[in-house]
Amino acid sequence: MRKLIGLVSALFVSDATVALAAEWPAKQISTRLGMVTFEAQRIIPRAFDDHPVLRLLIGKKKFDFDSETNVVYLPADAKIATKLNMSPFAKEPIESYRQGIAEILSQIESAAVFREALKGDGAALDKVAAAFDALRSAMREALPRGELLAGYPDPD
């Protein structure tokens, strides 16, 4: 499952990155390996803010890039992440992560229910939001378990 998606887009040095760091500061957490720095990783990166599915969900207040449901804390050090069997934090998620997200968003976009949601069908919008939430929730669970990688693990 490690070859599954590789998380989202980059946290560029911008107002959005500064806001994320201010709202979700790094944490020092005691682990079996000692004190470890964990950084806030956006599960769905802002690089996807122009995607039609996300434009719809954001416009209808069904998704927010900065919500706590779109953030997971990951070890800042790849060696530590590998030892803890977790994905490492990535300022710029790896290509496979971004491609995986793009593919799933495209599948949602090509579904008939998405077209109905665009036409104003509330029930269809709820189904689109539920499909997207299922993706984000699965990613939120997989990243800390190392089943999905936002960054490259330590090769050693």
On whether residue 89 sits in a domain, the answer given is yes
Quote the pLDDT of residue 123. 98
On whether residue 5 sits in a domain, the answer given is no
Q: Tens of pLDDT along 9-57?
A: 222 223 333 344 446 677 887 777 778 899 999 999 999 999 999 999 9
Dist CA 97 CA 5 (whole Å): 4
Q: Tens of pLDDT along 82-106?
A: 998 999 999 999 999 999 999 999 9
Q: Give the pTM.
A: 0.78
On whether residue 4 sits in a domain, the answer given is no
On whether residue 152 sits in a domain, the answer given is no
pLDDT above 70 covers a percentage of the chain that reads: 84
Q: Tens of pLDDT along 121-135?
A: 999 999 999 999 999
124: containing domain: 15-145
CA dihedral 133, 129, 10, 26 (to 10 degrees): -50
Backbone angles phi, psi at 40, to 5 degrees: -75, 120
Quote the pLDDT of residue 24. 64
Q: Would the CA dihedral through 29, 6, 147, 114 be positive or negative?
A: positive
On whether residue 121 sits in a domain, the answer given is yes
Quote the pLDDT of residue 18. 36
Residue 85 to residues 37, 43, 77, 104, 152: CA-CA distances in angstroms?
15, 18, 12, 25, 12
On whether residue 138 sits in a domain, the answer given is yes
Number of domains in the chain: 1
